[in-house]
Amino acid sequence: MKKSALIFLILGLASGCKNSFSVRMTSDYFPLKVGNTWLFDVKGDNNYRLEMKVTGTQISQGDSLIIVESGGEIHLFQRKTGIVNKVRELYTTYEGEKVFFGTFYEPYLLLPPLEGENWEREFNFSSFHSGENLEKSLFISVDSVTQTSIILNSENYENVYRIRRTIVEDNDSTVEYEWFAPDVGLIRKEVPADSLIWELVSYQINE
Amino acid sequence: MSIILLLGFNLFVSSSVPQGSASTDTPSGFSLMMGGEYKINYDIIVSQYSRDNYDVNIYGILAGKELFLGQKLSILPEMGMVKAGRSREGSSDSGYFPLFVIRFAYLISTGSSTFQIGFSLREVFNEKIGTDFLDFGIGFRM
């Protein structure tokens, strides 16, 4: 009887402990509630502070989109079960004029993330402009999803997922690394080609 | 030295009802319980189901003491450990969890003291992996 009581006590105590798997499984790696704010130190050619804030929502073609503002730019995200899509508009400049190709949904982050997974999407657009048929292709791939921990501004973030995002637009490619922390979201971003690094300084997440 | 092993044997096959408005899971599984001399029950839990855009599988073993509430009804609080995993397109992640389960068993009289047929109702408390489900089971005890 004493042995059973001891086993139950140990299991009871163990059930109260924080389990990293349950953190990874149940946390939101990209919380997009209106009012959520992240403040980043941006280091590159110029060093400055950048605020990223969820400012509202809008309905577009029947989809509910989330508006995120950073550095005067507006980004739109679509939050669906198990996935965050980034809504992007594709333009090009032809003979001094801005030509619009279309709107597309980039699969930005799969939720909850899993180490080792990868996904990719290819978009091909064409637009008839001034008697010319203009074409544009975009290839986005995410791979190298790695679980890690990272210290930023003396704060230790655990159960972090780092992803590598490769964007190939026509013949130009850009590689970005992004770190997402549980119930925080984006905490670090690195664009090696531009020697650009974002690092989270502070954040405010609404429950 | 001699070892005397007195085992009862229960087999309950169950299917689960998902709980919660956001749940799309349809777990199912079976449990195998062996009641010993001291009415300590062991329970194997196996569940596999899909959730959102990934699959969940749970395997574990539980132990508990059966408390009889009259001739036909018993309540079995059980604790144990489970290995829970999730996977999506070849990638997977897993962890170990303590688990607390309450099972109710209702036994139908068969006229035999060594073979009984019954129904079981099991509530699995597993909030830590975002899972909470109710098992309905049917099986026998001998």
Residue B67's pLDDT band, with cuts at 50, 70 and 90, is confident
Name the CATH topology of A20-204. Answer: YmcC-like fold (2.40.360)
Residue B142's pLDDT band, with cuts at 50, 70 and 90, is low
Contact A22, B96 (CB under 8 A): no
Please tell me the distance in Å from B100's CA to the nearest CA on chain A: 9
Nearest-angstrom CA–CA distance, B141 and A199: 61
Please tell me the distance in Å from B95's CA to the nearest CA on chain A: 5
List the single range of A83-92, A128-137, B4-13, B80-89 with lowest mean pLDDT.
B4-13
Size of interface A-B (CB pairs under 8 A): 72
Does residue B29 or residue B63 have the better pLDDT? Answer: B63
Chain B CB within 8 Å of residue A20 CB: yes
pLDDT at B132: 61
Over 80: is that where the pLDDT of B107 sits? no
pLDDT at B24: 47
Edge-first strand order for the sheet with A63-70 is A97-110, A83-94, A73-80, A63-70, A48-60, A37-43, A196-204, A185-191, A172-181, A155-169, A132-152, A119-129
Kindly identify which residue of chain A lies nearest to residue B51, measuring between CA atoms.
A82
Closest to A53 (Cα-Cα) out of A186, A142, A159: A186
Chain A CB within 8 Å of residue B53 CB: yes
Which residue carries 């577009």 as its tokens? A60
Contact A182, A24 (CB under 8 A): yes
The domains of chain B are located at 10-141
Chain A interface test: which of B56, B88, B102 (most A C-beta within 10 Å): B88
Does residue B8 or residue A86 have the better pLDDT? Answer: A86
Name the CATH topology of B10-141. Answer: Porin (2.40.160)
Backbone dihedral angles phi then psi of residue B9, each to the nearest 5 degrees: -135, 120
A86: Cβ–Cβ under 8 A, 6 or more apart, which residues? A75, A76, A77, A78, A105, A106, A108
Chain B CB within 8 Å of residue A61 CB: no
Q: Residue B86: its chain A contacts at CB < 8 A? A: 25, 112, 114
Residue B42's pLDDT band, with cuts at 50, 70 and 90, is confident
The domains of chain A are located at 20-204
Complex ipTM > 0.85? no
Cβ separation A8–B79 shorter than 8 A: yes
pLDDT in tens, B69-78: 887 788 888 8
pLDDT tens digits in sequence order for chain A, 207 residues long: 555 555 555 555 455 456 788 888 888 999 999 999 999 999 999 999 999 999 999 998 888 999 999 989 999 999 988 899 999 888 888 888 888 888 889 999 998 899 999 999 998 888 887 788 888 888 999 998 999 999 999 999 999 999 999 999 888 899 999 999 999 999 999 999 999 999 999 999 987
Please tell me the distance in Å from B57's CA to the nearest CA on chain A: 13
Please tell me the distance in Å from A13's CA to the nearest CA on chain B: 9
Chain B segment 85-124 residues within 8 A of A by beta carbon are: 86-98, 100
Does residue B137 or residue A23 have the better pLDDT? Answer: A23
Chain B segment 1-30 residues within 8 A of A by beta carbon are: none
Please tell me the distance in Å from B32's CA to the nearest CA on chain A: 20
Nearest to A15 among B84, B93, B98 (CB): B98
